[in-house]
Amino acid sequence: MRIAVYPGSFDPVTNGHVDIIKRAAKMVDHLVIGVLHNSSKTPLFSAEERVNMLSEVCQGIPNVEIRHFEGLLVDFVMECNATIVVRGLRAVTDFEYELQWAQSNRIVCPQMDTMFLVTNVQYSYLSSSVVREYASHRGDISPFVPPLVAERLKEKYN
């Protein structure tokens, strides 16, 4: 059974993330979306809120499970009995950071491989931080996120 983990902050989940989730879910038997709870950062949405939004967004995808984790990704990947980590690449600027993590993770956990999916071009500009910035200024975020996420963002900033 091929189990993969797609880790990230997902603060909040965007259409770019959803695209990666749908494509990765077709490639593996089981996809765990790992929502990172980083206690040294203050996210806009709590880990619980981010897990809930992802659960609603991924409702129609049968082989996807949403969990949150703290600490090292390699430990979470082993806990999930996964051997694949999925990451999205938007531009060359993502590459150096991702390469460092992929290589260091393989030293610690040689059975683990990182699978990079290149973003669909219509999402290559899109990041959670751009979405948060638009939302904070009451901008139109409907092109960027699923409708329920747009609703939650409006509630946050009202």
- Of the pair 20, 112, the CB lying nearest ligand ADP is at 20
Among 50, 87, 132, 152, binds ligand ADP (CB under 6 A): 87
CA separation for the pair 62, 48 (Å, rounded):
21
Give the relative orientation of helices 147-157 and 47-57 as an angle to the nearest 10 degrees: 150
Gap between the Cα atoms of 5 and 84, Å rounded: 6
| CB of residue 50 to ligand ADP, shortest distance in Å | 9
> C-alpha dihedral over 125, 68, 43, 92, to 10 degrees?
-30
Instruction: Select the residue interacting with ligand ADP from 64, 119, 131, 149 (CB under 6 A).
Output: 119
Q: Clarify whether 67 is annotated catalytic.
A: no
Q: Which of 126, 131, 135, 145 binds ligand ADP (CB under 6 A)?
A: 126
Nearer to ligand ADP, 80 or 158 (CB): 80
Burial class (CB in 10 A: 0-12, 13-18, 19+), 130: middle
The active-site residue out of 90, 124, 127, 156 is 90
Smallest separation, CB 54 to ligand ADP (Å): 10
Two tokens, residue 63: 């082989």
Q: Applying CB under 6 A, which of residues 123, 141, 145, 149 lies at the interface with ligand ADP?
A: 123
Please tell me whether residue 132 binds ligand ADP under the rule CB under 6 A.
Answer: no
What's the CA angle centered on 15, arms 10 and 20, to 5 degrees? 75
Separation CA 139–CA 6 (nearest Å): 29
Determine if 58 is a binding residue for ligand ADP (CB under 6 A): no
Question: Residue 17 interacts with ligand ADP (CB under 6 A)?
Answer: yes
Catalytic (active-site) positions: 17, 41, 90, 128
